[in-house]
Structure formats: C-alpha cells, structure tokens
Structure 1
C-alpha cells in the first residue's frame, strides 16, 4: 500500500512536472506569437508608410479610368447628336437658300428676269387653245386616276376594300394640295417671277412625294409636266396678249394721228379756199375800180392789184399743198429731237408726224410729260415718212433706251450716226423732199438756265 502510494505520488509528481513543462512551453509559444504579431504589425505600419501613396495613386488612376470611360461614352453621344443636328441645320440651310434664291429673283429682275420662251405661236389665240388642251389633259389624268398613284395595295383591318378607300382619300388630299399650290402659282405668274413660280411648283411636288413615301404614293411626273406647261403657257399667253394690245394701241394712235392730220389738212384747204375767194373778190373789185380811177388813185389801185395777185397765188398754193398732202397718205415729216435736261446727252427721239404743222407734235410731246421742252435737230419732209422712220428704228434697234416697249422711240446714239443713216436711206430711196440739215448742238435753254441758277445758289450758300 505504501509502495502504491509512493509510486502514485511519484507518478503524480511526474505528471505535474510534465503538465508544468507543457504550460511553460505554451506560454513560451504564446509569447513568441505575440512578438511575431508585433513584428508583423510593425512591418505592416512601415509598409503602409512607405507604399501607402502608391496604393492611393493606383486607386486614383482606377477612378480616373472609370471617369474617362464615362466621359468617352458621353462624348460619343454628343458627337452623334451633333451630327444629327448638323444634318438638320444643313437641310434647313438648303431650304432657306432655295427660298432666298426665289426672293432674290425679284431684286435682280433687270439682270436675271429674262424668260426663254418655250413656245413660238404667232397669235394669243394659239396660246389660249394650247392652254385649254393642256388643262383638258390634266382633267383626263385625274379622271383616269393617273395624276397621283399608289404603288402598294393596302388593307385596313384585313379589308382590301377599306384599304383602297383609304388610299383614294389620301391621293385626293395630295392632289388637292398640289393643285392648290399650282393654281396659286399660275394666278400670280408675271414676267419677273416665272422662274420663282416654276421652282415653287417643283418644290411642292418634291415635298408632297417625300411626305407620301411611307404610303408608297406619289404625284406622277407626267402630271407635273402638264402643270409646268400650264404655267409657261399662261405666262406666254399674257405676254402675247400684251404685245397684241400694244400693237393695237399703236395702230389706234396712228389712226388718231392720221385723223388729226387729215382734219388739219381739210381745215387748211378750207382756209385756203376762203382766202382764195376773198382775194379773188378783192382783185375783181380792184380791177373794176381801176378802170374809173385816174392819177394817183389809179396808181394806188395798180399796187393793190399786184399785192392781191401775189396773195391769191399764195392761197392757191396753200390749197394745192393741202390737197396734195391729203392725197399722199405716206407723206409726212420725220423729226429728230432731244431733251438733255430729261434724258442726258446722246439720247434722241426718232419719230414721224403727218401734221401740216409738224412743230405742233413736238410741242405736244414736251407739254407735260417731261420737265424741259424738246430741241429739234432736224425736221425732214418725206413722201414716204413711215419708211424712213422704220429704217432708222431698225438700224438702231439694239440702242433703244427702253427695250421692253418699242412704242418708246428713244435711242442712245450719236447724232452723226443718225445723219449717216438718213443720208444713206435717201440716196437709196429718194424719198426726202426737203433739204437734209441738222442742228448738232441742242439749245436746251431752260435746262442751261436751271444749271446756272443752281450754280449761283451753290456759290451764295
């Protein structure tokens, strides 16, 4: 028992020693771990102090990269949006330029208002007939449903019938819009906007067909051509009517001038016949008186008879001249006149009159239409005045001041050129019955007095 207790004590002590040794070892291991932990913590702090900035920059770089990606995407979106807006602005700019081009035509009509005729009919009635035919063709195209067409058979709710009804209504709407614009253009067409109205019709045609693309509908090009023909024919018909009216006005004016000249000639003839009768009676009476008179009284009667015979001869000559000029329907005076105060130098009116007193016609021209009276450079009596006037007008046609209205007989030409043509024409036709003399320098008295007064006023001021 004692040995058992001894051995038990020895074992217990040994066990306790082993446990104490293990506890010490564990303590040592814990202390070592703490030291290693402290060392690791210290090394971590040192590393953080040494490399913490690098780590922060890497984070910043990653953040910046992210922002760059976001901004790049945004830039692409803005670029795409800018391209779209640029295209829209370009389209609007083109449209505005087209409108501006149309508006500019009116401003530059003198230089750009020329219209090249598409037809060459001789009379207005021919234009009217062709215009009626063109409008009849348009009506037939509408009737045949060829003015506007749809290239797709649509259906509505599965019904082809309803689709056709919808298509027909849409085509009617398109044609109504197109015809309205065309009618407005045709109504407004004038010599100075033909191209503008043509562009307006073409633009309407393009816009309506563009809007109708989604439905596969369109106004046909043939119908457009007929509308343009209507525009051109309307314009040329108006121009031809105006020309014919001008020609009729010229004829009426010539007739009035002829009637006035004939009245003057008839009056001159009657006046000459009355004078002839008075002088004849006075002469007969003087001859009777001279038979019974003597001395100085008789001598005085002889002088009176001689004077009466002279006046009677003049009256007979005046009557014969009036009768002769009335019988010669083409005889008259061709005049060359100028008005430097109104029109400037080297501008001359070349006209003709059959008046017995041709200066009456010149005075009429200068009465109220111009601020200064005309100066006469020559007044040539011709047996065929219309021919001489016509030759001069044709020779200087390109030098007309007003090229749009040939009734305005003013020409920008030198007097020497006019003299040359007059002499050449007379040498060929032998029609001038009076001496061809010209006054080269215009008196222009009122105009020169006006200039003198203006200079005097300017000096006083």
Structure 2
C-alpha cells in the first residue's frame, strides 16, 4: 500500500512539473508572438507611409497600382495587429486555451481518444510533442476547441466520460475508449461548434502495415528496407521530415 501511495505521489509530482513546463512554454510563445507582431507592425507602418507618398506623387495610370499595394499593406497591418491582440489576450487570461481530441491508432488501437488541453498560441505544437519518441506513431487531431475556460471544459468532458477512462487506476490519465460520434454529439449538444475530422489518417501506421505485408512476399524489398534502416541517422532523418 505504501508503495502504491508513493507511486501515485511521484506521478502527481511529475504531472505538476509537466504543467509548469507547459505554462512556461506558453508564456514564452506569447512573448515571442507579441514581439514578432510588434516588429511586423512597425515594418508595415513604414511601408504604408512609403506607399502613401507614392500614391500622392503618382500620375493617374500609376495611382491605381500604388493604391492596390497600399490596401494590401493595410490588410496585412490589420492582421498583424489582430495577432498581437490575440497573444496579449491569451497571455492575460490564464484559463484561455484549446481543448483537443486526438487519437493514435497505431499506439493505442481503435476508438481510444485523448481529451486534453493546452494554452499554447499554436496548440498543434503540443500535439506534435505528445507524438514524440515516447510513442511509435504520431497523433491525429479530430477536434481543436478554443475556449475562454479550457480547464473547465476539459474537466467537464472528463467527468462526462469518466466510465470510459482507459486507465481505471490513475484518474489523471486522459485517454478514453469511446465512439467518437458520442463525443462529437455531446460537445455539439453543449452548443459548441468546431471543425471535426472523424477519420483517423494514421498515415505512418497504415503505411507500416502495408510495408509489412509487402515484405512477406518480396524479399528484395525487405533487404532494401533493412539497408535503409541500418544507414539512416534517426536525428538527421527527423530533421529532413520536418523540413519536408
């Protein structure tokens, strides 16, 4: 019993450290976004001043061209200002974030979904991190729900599907075995509208299955695959894949 309590305590401490790291990454992301947006705003304002001067000096033929350029720059400036305001707003509101619904068929099987949340300005960065070296395949995103109170929405969904928890021992795990349509219908009944992708692509997993089947009857393909695996540097390979 003492060992179990100790294990639960260590798991809780690990999750607290993970939350702290996640909050720190979110804070740095907001700061960078604000700094980049401010820099972009200053650059665009200078370009707009230059374009306004060109319009004022242009003849009738040139004026339409310069006016179009000016309107494009003004549109970009509005977008940069909106991005800056969004970053400021999310940084100030500690509960603002995204609740995500993701799956990893190759790692956990069919009808298993992780319901989690992140405060990152770019929430897909968090999903990519979850699909790192700790699991054999990447995650598929089925829904990304922006919320003014993401922790409350996450808790509400966890509570609703409590009986569907994959791990019945550790309540802090966020994986659930259920039908995705049940989850979708419940969220829509809450009055929440978001874009859904119901089919898990599971690209690398399905390509792996196909390759395994082909190698059963094609020994030359198997030999070629082995040679490739032996000479490939995983770090360099990952960097190339990211660039592609």
Q: TM-score, normalised by structure 2?
A: 0.82
Q: Give the equivalent residue in structure 1 for 2:140.
A: 375
Larger Rg: 1
Deviation, 1:302, is: 1.4
Larger relative contact order (CA 8 Å, sep ≥ 6): 2
SS in 1 for 2:137: coil
Equivalent of 2:196 in 434, 438, 441: 438
**What is the CA–CA distance in structure 2 between the aligned matches of 1:241 and 1:448, rounded to whole Å?**
40
| CA distance in 1: counterparts of 2:162 and 2:200, whole angstroms | 23
Structure 1: tracts of 5 or more residues without a match: 1-190, 192-234
Task: Return the offset for 1:252.
Answer: 2.5
Q: Find out whether 1:458 has 2:219 as its counterpart.
A: no
2:164 maps to what in 1?
A: 399
* SS of aligned partner of 2:173: coil
Cα distance change, pair 436–292 in 1 and its aligned pair in 2 (3 A) = closer
Alpha-carbon separation, structure 2, partners of 1:359 and 1:445: 17
Task: Report the Cα distance in structure 1 between the residues aligned to 2:198 and 2:171, rounded to whole angstroms.
Answer: 25
Q: Secondary structure at the match of 1:387?
A: helix
Give the Cα–Cα distance (whole angstroms) in 2 for the partners of residues 437 and 283 of structure 1.
Answer: 36
Instruction: Give runs of aligned pairs for residues 188-207 of structure 1, distance below 5 A.
Output: 191=1
Equivalents in 2 of 1:247, 1:291: separation in Å? 65
TM-score for the superposition, normalised by structure 1: 0.45
Bigger helix fraction? 1
Query: Mapping of 1:218-229 within 5 angstroms?
Result: none
- SS of residue matched to 1:345: coil
Asked whether the 8 Å contact 1:388–1:422 carries over to 2, the reply is no
Matching residue of 2:62: 297
The CA deviation string for residues 81-139 of structure 1, in whole angstroms up to 9 with x for no partner, is xxxxxxxxxxxxxxxxxxxxxxxxxxxxxxxxxxxxxxxxxxxxxxxxxxxxxxxxxxx
- How far the C-alpha of 1:305 sits from its partner, in A, is 0.8
Question: Alignment length, in residue pairs?
Answer: 219
Residue in 1 that maps onto 2:100: 335
Q: What whole-Å deviation, never above 9, does each CA across 1:131-181 have from its counterpart, x for those lacking one?
A: xxxxxxxxxxxxxxxxxxxxxxxxxxxxxxxxxxxxxxxxxxxxxxxxxxx
Alignment root-mean-square deviation, CA: 1.9
Q: Give the unaligned 5+ runs of structure 2.
A: 220-244
Q: Deviations along 1:18-65, whole A, 9 cap, x unmatched? A: xxxxxxxxxxxxxxxxxxxxxxxxxxxxxxxxxxxxxxxxxxxxxxxx
Q: Distance in 1 between matches of 2:42 and 2:71?
A: 16
